[in-house]
Chain A
């Protein structure tokens, strides 16, 4: 049995934003990535492994596999956690490949009506608009606070609609939104050691206000003047992951303006997922584009908060916190940005803390942006495995470095009854101030 090439090649990828031979042909199909891929570990299927997905990209590009339902399913099921990039000796930039592939799917593959409308609404009409995020959050708050949520849970209506797991993942809407802090400057405590801009996020501004405030407290306590520039919008990470690159490009243009207006020592984010995309803004443009040099300049300033603090060194005195904690690597920090030591170093800097490593701490928790909403069943299986590893450490606190992971792990702790508290690294530092 031999592989006979199809006589009439299919149409393959086309236009801009497509995976290129030079990128995917770096894969020499050695298979060293397999056991690092959460979906391969889950299903044991080559088509749901990094090597298999790259092979499918190659086959589509060579016109031998249809850019159709089967291909789209396997690409959709990828978490884009990029653990395979860490495992890959050949330096395949898998994240880039899958994101470009999704751009092709977005342009060429007709999805069902519901999915199309939902994607359209979310990526094009919600995320880029802070006002709409704010309105949607107020509505969600009514659902959560006025008893509707309790009602829906009690009556089993959510279970009936198959939404019970998803509802648990819904973040609690903040009482106060972070939008009100935009444009403010927070002075450094003591001698000023750095002047930084803070990237506040989009949905995080209505759900992670406390995390953002903790981040500012930790930064200012360590001698940073923190500016929250006006005019900043969503980073575009979710759009990039979904292949909606035009929206991401517009958001990037806007953010480049907002953050390059003034000179800062660094631009800081507390969201590893956002940080990874922000650092990769150059990928959204061609080298000849006017935005490209700006994206490069911005990339040089961009720092994850843990990366920045570990580099700067902690100056604020820290109280003793006699606690056993375990650290879950956020994928877009460990694999996307290759930052593993900085968060651990900060955690260990707190007197009294015992950091216990969990088994496979750098395996994805299943959050993966909106994966837990789009591929809920797979996400929940991955989460169950993660909670077993986390519980085995007997640490009452799980620390991580990204809002998406916080939501997922909090849902995991509730669903699996591990009674563990889930904190961001800066929230832990904030407690010790």
Chain B
């Protein structure tokens, strides 16, 4: 990159807030996914004005600009796929306003998801979207990817909890969209921007809705001898129009990995469990829990445990939310998918995933938001082995194709990023994609904001992607 641009950035932000040395840039070429892309310069704004000046500079020099929060994303959304300026929001992490009476908070994009809840729980409120990475991931990233989480089943995803945004347009203009009210006049630009993966504008402030903590919560762990029994339970819960707050599936393989870390008492000999939570008014949840218990028993649950206190409940959730990370105990790398299918198709799809795994020689772990039909098959591979990596990507592609074939989608909550951009034509026609491109063009005509995301390049995955690890040949050095 032109050293003039770097010097100009240093003038705007100070030397402490600009990184351009090779060894520093290498720290921003990865995130939670298996993708790799190195930026040319990394900057740390502290204010909206900082962001405006960075964007203006990028615009003047026609340099790509990509946002990043904590870098926990699973689709490569926060990676500078075409180089340029990576804008990291880790120092723009202030909670600006908490308005308990009106159940609103205004925060900067670098605020950690769970820190919002920490700041308001004393008053009996919380921020409902709970991605599994919530103890690290930032609200800016949640907005960009429209993140979900186990409790989105009842409470909705990020977009249902974001009311207003302050954004910087690619021109450098600052816009305020939405507000503190539930609906603002005119187009729902907030809804458009949430989930736009940083390709339309850069978010610099978020107004979120706070949710009252439920009066009571009941957490059930249903244990099964077969995967089919578990998935059929989910289908029937749906059919009976029961909406639990969360309904999570973990197969036996995942349980054994997770239990090694969390010691929550997950049964090691079972084929699958469902972690089901109901919350709300005390009387209502008793009835709901009883009906769920019925359904579990009907579908041959070996045992249904009820968490006896908040400690046991937290332990069960700790196991669920840390499941991906725990996989590192078995394998140096994993590739997690984010397919969505109709809940009625769960049993057949899991069988299909098993077949695909066998075909490519992988044991594929399954852990997912069963209530949403949002699957997260995990494929383990060793990145030192190029062949394994390629087979993992191929297997993942087949799983995604199957999800689409049964009427589902290639992403439920992780975003398209650059991981799945080449799969988009499987879901959308050229006309569909052109409509989306038109929206992008209206906001981001020069294509400088997070380029290389969402839309396909028109090449095969193998051609576009690089080796997912900074690894030289597998021979010892």
Instruction: Mark A residues whose CB is within 8 Å of B.
Output: 1-3, 5-6, 9, 12, 21, 25-36, 40, 43-47, 52, 55-56, 58-59, 62-66, 70-71, 87-92
Contacts A1-B38, A30-B72, A62-B472 given; does A35 touch B327 at CB 8 Å: no
Known contacts A30-B324, A89-B323, A89-B328; can you find 17 more A-B pairs with CB under 8 A? A1-B37, A1-B81, A3-B26, A28-B324, A28-B328, A28-B332, A29-B31, A30-B328, A32-B72, A33-B136, A34-B70, A35-B136, A44-B44, A63-B472, A64-B470, A70-B21, A90-B328
Chain A residue with Cβ nearest B326: A89
- Residues of A within 8 Å of B93, CB to CB, are 44
Q: Give the residue of A25, A52, A62, A89 whose beta carbon is less than 8 angstroms from that of B477.
A: A62
- Report which residue of A32, A33, A87 has the largest number of chain B beta carbons within 10 angstroms of its beta carbon: A32
- Residues of A within 8 Å of B312, CB to CB, are none
Q: Give the residue of B26, B72, B332 whose beta carbon is less than 8 angstroms from that of A65.
A: B26
The CA of A34 and the CA of B27, in the complex, are separated in Å by: 13
Contact A2–B466 (Cβ < 8 Å): yes
Is B126 in the interface zone, CB < 8 Å from A? no
Contact B31–A62 (Cβ < 8 Å): no
Q: Give the residue of A25, A32, A66, A89 whose beta carbon is less than 8 angstroms from that of B332.
A: A25
The CA of A395 and the CA of B6, in the complex, are separated in Å by: 49
Chain B residue with Cβ nearest A46: B27
Is B276 in the interface zone, CB < 8 Å from A? no
Contacts A1-B82, A52-B27 given; does A44 touch B470 at CB 8 Å: no
Interface string of B19-43 (1 = CB under 8 A from A): 1010110111111100011111000
Contacts A3-B470, A25-B332 given; does A30 touch B133 at CB 8 Å: yes
Contact B322–A89 (Cβ < 8 Å): yes
What is the distance, in angstroms, from B306's C-beta to the closest C-beta of chain A?
24
- Residues of A within 8 Å of B135, CB to CB, are 32, 35-36, 87
Contact A31–B328 (Cβ < 8 Å): no
Contact B40–A1 (Cβ < 8 Å): yes
Q: Chain B: interface residue count, which band?
A: 35 or more
Contact A44–B88 (Cβ < 8 Å): yes
Q: What are 16 A-B contacts defined by CB distance under 8 Å? A: A2-B36, A21-B332, A26-B328, A26-B332, A30-B32, A30-B325, A30-B328, A32-B322, A35-B112, A45-B44, A46-B28, A62-B477, A71-B23, A87-B135, A89-B262, A89-B322
Contact A62–B36 (Cβ < 8 Å): no
- Residues of A within 8 Å of B441, CB to CB, are none
The CA of A65 and the CA of B329, in the complex, are separated in Å by: 26
- Residues of B within 8 Å of A6, CB to CB, are 472
Contact A1–B470 (Cβ < 8 Å): no
Chain A's interface: helix, strand, loop or mixed, by majority?
Answer: loop
Contact A89–B90 (Cβ < 8 Å): no
- Residues of B within 8 Å of A32, CB to CB, are 72, 133, 135-136, 322, 325
Q: Give the residue of A30, A35, A70 whose beta carbon is less than 8 angstroms from that of B23.
A: A70
Is B439 in the interface zone, CB < 8 Å from A? no
Contact A44–B333 (Cβ < 8 Å): no
| Docked complex: B73-88 residues within 8 A CB-CB of A | 80-84, 88
Contacts A1-B80, A3-B466 given; does A44 touch B261 at CB 8 Å: no
Q: Give the residue of B82, B133, B329, B470 whose beta carbon is less than 8 angstroms from that of A62.
A: B470
- Residues of B within 8 Å of A55, CB to CB, are 26-27, 30
What is the distance, in angstroms, from B441's C-beta to the closest C-beta of chain A?
24
Contact A62–B471 (Cβ < 8 Å): yes
Interface string of B37-56 (1 = CB under 8 A from A): 11110001000000000000
The CA of A62 and the CA of B469, in the complex, are separated in Å by: 11
- Residues of A within 8 Å of B26, CB to CB, are 3, 55, 59, 64-65
Chain A residue with Cβ nearest B22: A65
- Residues of A within 8 Å of B70, CB to CB, are 31, 34-35
- Residues of B within 8 Å of A25, CB to CB, are 328, 332-333
The CA of A63 and the CA of B334, in the complex, are separated in Å by: 23
Contacts A46-B27, A70-B24 given; does A28 touch B72 at CB 8 Å: no
Q: Give the residue of B71, B90, B326 whose beta carbon is less than 8 angstroms from that of A90.
A: B326
What is the distance, in angstroms, from B424's C-beta to the closest C-beta of chain A?
21
The CA of A92 and the CA of B326, in the complex, are separated in Å by: 10
Is B110 in the interface zone, CB < 8 Å from A? yes
Is B212 in the interface zone, CB < 8 Å from A? no
Is B175 in the interface zone, CB < 8 Å from A? no
- Report which residue of A9, A28, A33, A62 has the largest number of chain B beta carbons within 10 angstroms of its beta carbon: A28
Is B91 in the interface zone, CB < 8 Å from A? yes
- Residues of B within 8 Å of A40, CB to CB, are 90
- Residues of A within 8 Å of B88, CB to CB, are 44
Is B260 in the interface zone, CB < 8 Å from A? yes
| Docked complex: B456-477 residues within 8 A CB-CB of A | 466, 470-472, 477
What is the distance, in angstroms, from A377's C-beta to the closest C-beta of chain B?
13
- Residues of A within 8 Å of B261, CB to CB, are 89-91
Interface string of B406-420 (1 = CB under 8 A from A): 000000000000000
What is the distance, in angstroms, from B19's C-beta to the closest C-beta of chain A?
8
Contact A3–B29 (Cβ < 8 Å): yes
The CA of A44 and the CA of B112, in the complex, are separated in Å by: 12
Contact A28–B325 (Cβ < 8 Å): yes
Contact B472–A9 (Cβ < 8 Å): yes
- Report which residue of A71, A88, A89 has the largest number of chain B beta carbons within 10 angstroms of its beta carbon: A89
What is the distance, in angstroms, from B32's C-beta to the closest C-beta of chain A?
5
Contact B24–A3 (Cβ < 8 Å): no
The 7 residue pairs across chains A and B that have the minimum distance between CB atoms: A90-B328, A44-B90, A1-B83, A89-B322, A89-B325, A25-B332, A31-B72
Contact B136–A34 (Cβ < 8 Å): yes
Q: Give the residue of B84, B114, B329, B477 whose beta carbon is less than 8 angstroms from that of A26.
A: B329
- Residues of B within 8 Å of A29, CB to CB, are 30-32
Contact B136–A2 (Cβ < 8 Å): no
- Report which residue of B26, B83, B88, B329 has the largest number of chain A beta carbons within 10 angstroms of its beta carbon: B26
Contacts A44-B88, A55-B27 given; does A2 touch B37 at CB 8 Å: yes
- Residues of B within 8 Å of A52, CB to CB, are 27
What is the distance, in angstroms, from A63's C-beta to the closest C-beta of chain B?
5
- Residues of A within 8 Å of B36, CB to CB, are 2-3
What is the distance, in angstroms, from B21's C-beta to the closest C-beta of chain A?
7
Contact A47–B133 (Cβ < 8 Å): no
What is the distance, in angstroms, from A198's C-beta to the closest C-beta of chain B?
32
Q: Give the residue of B27, B28, B72, B328 whose beta carbon is less than 8 angstroms from that of A27.
A: B328
Chain B residue with Cβ nearest A66: B23
The CA of A64 and the CA of B327, in the complex, are separated in Å by: 26
What is the distance, in angstroms, from B457's C-beta to the closest C-beta of chain A?
14
Q: Give the residue of A31, A88, A89 whose beta carbon is less than 8 angstroms from that of B31.
A: A31
The CA of A382 and the CA of B329, in the complex, are separated in Å by: 31
- Residues of B within 8 Å of A12, CB to CB, are 477
The CA of A33 and the CA of B135, in the complex, are separated in Å by: 8
